[in-house]
Amino acid sequence: MPILLAFSPFLAFALLDRLLGPTPGLVAGALAAAGLLLRDRLAGRAPKLLEIGTLILFGALALVALILRPDWSVIAVRLAVDAGLLLIVLASLALRRPFTLQYAREQVAPALWNSPGFLRTNMVITGVWALAFAVMVAAEAALLVVPGLPPKLGILAIVLALVGAIKFTGWYPDRVRARHAA
């Protein structure tokens, strides 16, 4: 699923945040997002909303971290990143340009691109991703606000939300196609 590559800046952030701290993680996220945009540019593809938003998000947070050097906890930084991601996804839904649309167009015939069903399918899938990111934000906020909460509970909620969104993204288009074929 090419859409999963779009989340590589978040993976780069999470990995370096854990190994080296928030600022290197944020810089890595910004560089990975810039790399995705450069890859699309070199391939002659239009930049994707999620990748542009991700570059802005990580770039802004990295600048704040480098210039102001705030004393952020790991959870606070992750909450800021995931809340920013949730806002990007919600904005794409509000604009009726779900972020999954650009990735889906790379996998289906152009004749389907403007069909109401194609847009509806992508609105549903993007809505599921928004729900997953909302769960992540809620879990991180709970970890930040309730100090005695075991971190494993937050991690479990995050993993289940992401796995659920990934599985749904693979399953739902097949279900829609099967329903239309019947």
CB 65 within 8 A of CB 26: yes
CB 29 within 8 A of CB 54: yes
Q: Point out the residues of the chain with pLDDT beneath 70.
A: 1-2
Q: How many Å apart are CA 116 and CA 26, to the nearest integer?
A: 38
Neighbours of 90 (CB within 10 A): 16
Q: How many Å apart are CA 30 and CA 166, to the nearest integer?
A: 23
What pLDDT is stored for residue 1 in this prediction? 52
**pTM score of the predicted model:** 0.89
Residue boundaries of the structural domains of the chain: 2-181
What pLDDT is stored for residue 147 in this prediction? 84
CA–chain centroid gap for 61, Å, is: 16
How many H helices and E strands in the chain? 8, 0
What pLDDT is stored for residue 159 in this prediction? 92
Q: How many Å apart are CA 49 and CA 122, to the nearest integer?
A: 14
Ramachandran region, residue 96 (left: φ > 0; alpha: ψ -120 to 50; beta: rest): left
- Reported as a single tens digit per residue, the pLDDT across 138-166 is 999 999 999 899 989 988 999 999 999 99
Q: How many Å apart are CA 8 and CA 39, to the nearest integer?
A: 13
Token look-up 């949730």 returns 86
What pLDDT is stored for residue 7 in this prediction? 84
